[in-house]
Amino acid sequence: WNFIPKNLFEQFRRIANFYFLIIFLVQLIIDTPTSPMTSGLPLFFVITVTAIKQGYEDWIRHKADNAVNQCPVHVTQHGKVVRKQSQKLRVGDIVQVKEDETFPCDLILLSTSREDGTCFVTTASLDGESSHKTYYAVQDTKAFNTAEEVDTLHSTIECEQPHKHINKCSILQTLTIPLGSENLLLRGATLKNTEYIHAVVIYTGMETKMALNYQSKSQKRSAVEKSMNAYLIVYLCILISKALINTVLKYVWQANPNRDEPWYNQKTETERQRHLIRAFTDFLAFMVLFNYIIPVSMYVTVEMQKFLGSYFILWDDDMFDEELGEGPLVNTSDLNEELGQVEYVFTDKTGTLTENNMELRECCVDGHVYCTCVSHQEREELFFRALCLCHTVQVKEEETVDGIKRGIYQGKSTSFYISSSPDEVALVEGMKRSINLLNLKTCNVVFLCAFVFILPRFELLEVLNFDSVRRRMSVIVRSSSGEYYLFCKGADSSVFPRVVSGKLEQVRARVEHNAVEGLRTLCVAYKKLTHEEYEETCHLLNSAKLALRERDKKLAEAYDVIEKDFILLGATAVEDRLQDKAADTIESLHKAGMKVWVLTGDKMETAAATCYASKLFHRNTQILELTTKRTEEQSLHDMLTRADTFTHTCRSHRLSDDYQDYGLIIDGATLSAVLKPTQEGTSNGGNYKEIFLEICRNCSAVLCCRMAPLQKAQIVKLIKASKEHPITLAIGDGANDVSMILEAHVGIGIMGKEGRQAARNSDYAITKFKHLKKMLLVHGHYYYIRIAELVQYFFYKNVCFIFPQFLYQFFCGFSQQPLYDTAYLTLYNISFTSLPILLYSLMEQHINMDILKRDPSLYRDIAKNSLLRWPTFIYWTFLGVFDAMVFFFGAFFLFDNTTFTSNGQDTHPSSHDSLQGQMNEQEDTWIKHFTLFGTVHVELKRIYSETFNLKEKLEAFSTNKVYFSDSLT
């Protein structure tokens, strides 16, 4: 019900709409030379069309809201399962969720269909990860599996007020049981690989963690829209100047009574009096007379052009992905022309430049490399046993992820692996292929079977889950012979410092070699535990898990104590292949004048190898490193100063033969030091940011590795705020890329294997990185050219239309006499000139599409808003003034044989006519004369505008032919 007032408020925040509203009110209040309809009708048309468009979008959102709010949910009541709308759920209700269903609110897991009380969940809509995570039921309730049993529960859940980080404890009967994140199922997540669960509602609606973490999108405005607003202010100043000049000249003209008093209509004494209020009303009247210099219909025409033009991306068959069965998406059409102005491209690596399709390439055990191996040596057996046990992989028959069915081969269901990490799946699949092992996980017992030999049976006792801070995971298992093992795998930087024995140097060398080759590496280690050590470990873990305060911190401390004194077994190397035509796309973006930065969380060696493979770096590129390893050797200040000197020398020799190309690599820790507001202990405090920006400007490419999601957004914001204020684009496929996608001027999401979070939060979504080339070089180029000519033409045609009205006042004694009929004033902007330029701005292709793709350097011709700079704007304005003078004086001399004198008298009056009859006849003739004069003006402008469009088209066609001939030559 409140759509109309809210929509009107938003629309009248625009300068042009608010201005015309004021003009319309002035026309209603005072006596003006034109009818209020001349301003009211165009304004009503613009407001109505915009409201219909936005109302349709709001209706679509309303339908989506209803689909969620009215979704049926199964609730346990009085020992029976009944259906209920999700919007009617209340805190304390016990719901039953089945496999592949989405959780309607935040829930505490009570019981599951699995004997061990676990369930598996995908959180793609929350964090973008489509991998499966394990959650655990409350120990005291996991045996309640039926609706009747669940209905007998009488318990109290105590938790804090809703906020982003939820701390809670559960009171069941007389025991206080602390609940952790492993018991909390968040709204928006989906149940997988579990038949059903029972859970109790704790937060609903806007109190859910998903709703509390909503991040509102900032209002993004294109460079063209900013130019439009600046031009409107200039034209508003011109309008005020014209009204002021005419007001002054009117009173100068009226200083001679004979000029202002026709012989047939002399003024009274009251009318001859001059006062300030009358002068002000005259000024407002002139403002109304000349107000059409402001193009009120420009905004609605621009919106229609953007909305209709966005379908060219949706209809592009070249950007359709056969594998996914999807094409590109346009989440907002307001930034179409911004695609043609991009200067910086910030891209993620994994899943964006690479396929995010992991495959095990090799294993290094004690320094020995195995590509395909079956070995029965003790160390090798321990290594492979660790890989088979230390994971969270599950077996799945068939599932659908984002509409794509997995586990179907030739129409039949086949089992496949699912996990919280694609690396884990690659390792287990690699083990299965290499040594023909079949890994089955049932309850807390792990069985390992082989066709050649039988490995012992192991019982899984504890899982120390992976987290981004530790960058490792561990499991504690017990063999059938009663021995306890702790197996650990993780990043080299987190495992090597905890190793006390093993072939450390040999494995380290192999890890560094694989990282340079672009492979993702993991290190594997283990240690044996005595029964006493295991009991102590369990006590330490249980104490941390039962802590009511700072549980996460105490768990981290417990993990730190447990995971040490390892024996290094070896390392694995997993390949993540480069996407098809990723290198060609980056090369084309460079030729188009864009700078490409890679922002990734991977280690420097792996990321650098990908940059070389994707042609971001070339073999002759000299790399400057600003990393933690380098800062240990010399101070950050010295590193920055040295790099700045190198790149300045590079810029001074850019056009010479000895030009050296530079690339920059920086890691997250060094970036944090660079971005600190002050640098204590240095005389150069606070200037590191500027030095860093200067280095980046002089480098052809930049790689930022070991980056946190918020650091990615900081980098984008830093470049946006630099003195050049460049247009930025961010592209990624995961939830960790959402922050930089929202921060950039243009955000593009890739519909990859990490869910749809990035695609949903982006302005545009594509299926592959290679489609970015056509989106920018072709669609972006066309969009900018079309919208720029549309805006230029609108200002031009309004100058042509209203400047003759200004000139006409010099011939009518500044009497505020309108030159045009009311119908022409109303229809000129709405239909006569808007529709032809709208069609032109939708279909114009000044250069063939194939040429734009073949020659990326053409993108440079439209860079930095080149078609809407001030010299171009002034040229179009003076062109409009010149054409207006041609129209006015051409029509003036055409009507130069009039029988009227300058004071309105007929030079040949009939002797037999009465004076009153002569006056009436002269008045009718005079009105017809002015009507015809104004009509000729409008028709001349209408015909000229259509001819102008044709002329532009022919010029573009001839230019295209010339360019094609040159390219052939």
This prediction's pTM: 0.70
* Residue labelled with tokens 């709409």: 17
Q: Output the furthest CA–CA distance in the chain (Å, rounded).
A: 136
Average pLDDT over residues 168-196: 71
Q: Provide the pLDDT confidence category of residue 630 given band limits of 50, 70 and 90.
A: low
**Buried residues in 9-37 as b, exposed as e (16+ CB within 10 A):** eebeeeebbebbbebbebbeeeebebebe
pLDDT value at residue 912: 47
**The pLDDT value given to residue 771:** 92
CA distance 215 to 204: 18
Mark whether 348 is an active-site residue.
Answer: yes
Question: Mean pLDDT, to the nearest integer, of 89-106?
Answer: 89
Binding site as annotated, residues for ATP: 348-350, 424, 466, 489, 520, 600-602, 706, 712, 736-737
- Give residues with Cβ within 8 angstroms of 769, minimum separation 6: 347, 352, 353, 579, 582, 585, 731, 750
Q: Where in the chain is the domain with CATH 2.70.150.10?
A: 71-213
List phi, psi (to 5°) of 805: -65, -35
Please state the rounded mean pLDDT for residues 206-215. Answer: 71
Annotated binding site for Mg(2+): 348, 350, 733, 737
In the CATH scheme, what is the code of domain 361-577?
3.40.1110.10
pLDDT of residue 964: 32
Query: Which class is domain 71-213?
Result: mainly beta
Q: Using one digit for the tens of pLDDT, what is the confidence trace for 270-285?
A: 666 666 777 888 888 8
- Residue 166 confidence (pLDDT): 45
Q: Label the pairing between strands 701-705 and 662-667.
A: parallel
Q: How does DSSP assign 82-121, residue by residue?
A: EEEEGGG--TT-EEEEETTPBPSSEEEEEEESSTTSEEEE
Residues belonging to the binding site are: 348-350, 424, 466, 489, 520, 600-602, 706, 712, 733, 736-737
Rounding to the nearest 10 degrees, give the CA dihedral for residues 147, 152, 156, 157. Answer: -20
Choose from 160-174, 327-341, 599-613 the range with maximum mean pLDDT: 327-341
Cα dihedral across residues 810, 814, 816, 817: positive or negative: negative
Residue type, 304: M
Predicted local confidence at residue 729, as pLDDT = 94
> Looking at residue 429, what is its pLDDT?
79
Mean pLDDT of 55-81: 82
Range(s) within the chain of domains with CATH label 3.40.1110.10: 361-577
* Predicted local confidence at residue 339, as pLDDT: 92
In the prediction, which pLDDT does 154 show? 82
Whether 683 shows a pLDDT value over 80: the answer reads: no
Q: What radius of gyration do the chain's Cα atoms show?
A: 37
Q: pLDDT tens digits, residue range 771-804?
A: 999 999 999 999 999 999 888 888 888 888 888 8
pLDDT band with cut points at 50, 70 and 90 for residue 487: very high
The predicted structure's pLDDT at residue 304: 85
Q: Tens digits of per-residue pLDDT, 691-730?
A: 888 888 888 889 998 887 778 888 998 898 888 889 999 9
pLDDT tens sequence across 845-890: 888 888 998 999 999 988 888 888 889 889 988 988 888 888 888 7
Residue in 106, 260, 282, 348 annotated catalytic? 348
Distance CA 150, CA 144 (A): 6
Confidence of residue 267 (pLDDT cuts 50, 70, 90): low
State the average pLDDT over residues 176-192: 80
- CB distance 456 to 481 below 8 Å: yes
Per-range mean pLDDT, top range of 261-270, 627-636, 737-746: 737-746
Q: What is the pLDDT of residue 442?
A: 37
21-43 mean pLDDT: 78
